[in-house]
Structure 1
Amino acid sequence: MRTYTQLSDLTLLTKASPTLILLSCLGYVGTSYATPEEIIAGKTLLAKGIVKAVNPKTNNIRSLKRRSKIMSVEHITTGEKSKAQFSMSDGGLITLKENTEVNVSHYVFNEETQKGSATLEVLSGGLRSISGLIKKTGGDYQVKTPVGSIGIRGTHFAVEVSGDDVYFGVYSGNIDIALNNNQSLSLGVTEGFAFASVNQAGEITSFTQAPEILSLGYNTSQEALEDVAEEENDNTVSTDVSTETATVDVSETPTTNESTSSEEYIQIASENNDQEITEDIIEKIEDIEDIQTIAELISERTGTFDYQQITESNVRSSVGATSDLILNLAVDFDNGTVPGGSLSFTDAQGEWFATYSGLINVDQLELGVNFASHANKLADGNISADFSNGVDEITGNFDLQEVEDTSINAAGSFTVK
């Protein structure tokens, strides 16, 4: 039998809105969910001239300034004699030249899981990008153009839409372009060409060096410093480091002027007590300078070198303690390949074993597991590695799991010289 108290509570509940009743029953009261338009995808480092962002759902227009947020879904344009640069949530960097129109269709990165995905669409003008953790952790990162969609396998690339032609350039890594006519085009450091143009008919023109259009409209060192000085006079700090990021060719040694420009960027930001922007600049410049330094060392080394002396390691298994790690890999500097390598260690159930091979991708190693096993059972996994201490050492990580029972797995990190 119902009591008066229960009837009173029921009366109050029935007077509430249907939405409140539903949320109360489901236990969702007080919980909020962000729409794509409310998810922050990055921040503005530089907005010079007319730079606008349009919310495609509400058509709300925002004028972007330094530190303005970039949302997961946005339509961004730059006007005449304008440019912009954005630091994205996964650590990526995007630079837009004047008269550029870009759709950010989707850009989401989870800092806790270090996973995410992104889709951009270049409608007109020019874009340069250094991709961040979305690409590095295996997430889906695509850039759509009027002639096809780019799948990113590299870290530094450029796109320019000019009339009926779209120009592509790769400065680090590789890109795969799925053209609208069902053809495919691959460009990059391990391909025949790093630069090409494609017209609306799908006709491809390859270039042995970067077409001038891919460089026009981006800062030279002197122009970048002038931007900094100009914005400093406006009581703001320019953070356009496109000279150190978007226009650098990692195959060339940086000049003294470019190095000086880096220091002056940092000094100007520091003098204005802009710690957040200073850290952004330092991080981006250090990333590029590290790539340049390692790329130069790789180009100077010849022959095949065997890395097999383990100096640091940490291995763990789901079935108990591990021991007897043995790891080696051969790097062929003449051909830019990793012709072979293997690792093995034991746990409570038996021996883990894996072989792998791969390529040198400018400043790092792109490796793939060819075969893996655990106690005579088929396994699978991943391995990643980077040069360290110049190119004298290799530091990496691996994860392995049995094919039939993925709960049986192992992972580890290593440094080998």
Structure 2
Amino acid sequence: MELPIKRPDRIVPDYSLTGDVLSFSRCQRSYRYYNGSSLPPSRPVQMWYGEFIHGMMERTFRLWQDRGGLPFPLHYSPINEREMPSEPSAELDPLDLRAIGWPIEQSLAHQGKFARSADARISAYERAEAAINQLGPHLFPLIDVAERKVLGTRPLPASENEAAERAGRYVLQGIIDVLGHAQLGEQPSDNPLKRAIIAAYPDLDGEYEIIIDYKGSRRPRIDDDPRGDWKLGEWQVQTYAWLRSQQVDARPVAAGILIYVSELAPGSKEMSMLRAEMRGGLTDVVPEVGTADYYQINGWAPGTQGDLTPEFRLARAIRVIPVTAESMIEATTMIDGVVRTIEDCVAHERQSMQIKQSWPADSNDRDACVACDFRVSCERNNATNW
């Protein structure tokens, strides 16, 4: 007779900064359906797009590293819209972005992740092309460590519900790129990333690191809402900095950088939102009055592409976030609170056996609600006039 092994009374739950904490912050119920139930979304648009952009940057950097440089700009061959994904021709140049991107598409397809449409797929390649060609020559020489997994354990705040106390600590993890002080010092002063860092840190000296993460989205509006993309991005960088500080080979983290890839190839939607935010004083990077970019934005016609200068697009794409001991404490304390809330929701569902009562539908993001597989049965989505 086999006796079952006694399960431990307490466990150490494992949380991903982006896959768990940020997803939960945007909508608790969609997080439960997609993550808690291990149900893959039937249309994981944002997942596919973000992971594709990350993969393209990573693979191109490895090529740049292996070959001792690349002949920028890189381009891609026409994409067969009828096949998603389709294997490129054997005669295709290995430096064609289509050849670089195909293995990434295949890997995502095996995970059940596909582009929403042929247009979305082509748009992703166009954004990747812009990011690689406009950022690659300046970014790749600065990278000291690529795709480093960082993790650390943190104490879990106490809960008012004793049934929710299944753990005293939790594991938090993420993946980052690291820029080194030596690499930064070797680059010319006209490097836009170096220029942005020095503008934020004019007295930066000694040994330090700067962490970097890519966002497939546009630069968010300035917002003090703790669940808004502006604040969540800041807390994400600060928490990455804390996680990096827990690694044995880490130097002090001086700053973090978020790269908003959509700013490098703005479409009609991005131009419309930029003009509205600029006029409403809701964005921090705006062109000077009388410049070409100023007239481009104010004279932009709906349905057309914006012809913004490369310098302005890069300025919009790069966000430098200073890191201090105090800012890391503030951010990680907020993350602790989010994890505590997730644990409380888990306990509430375990007691009530009800998902909807345990996980509120609280999204304020129209695009996320439109892409959600469960929007038809969501009372918040049905009651909200988007």
Q: TM-score, normalised by structure 1?
A: 0.24
Structure with max Cα Rg:
1
Q: TM-score, normalised by structure 2?
A: 0.26
Write 1 or 2 for the structure with the bigger share of strand: 1
Q: Which has the higher contact order (CA 8 A, sep 6+)?
A: 2
Write 1 or 2 for the structure with the bigger share of helix: 2
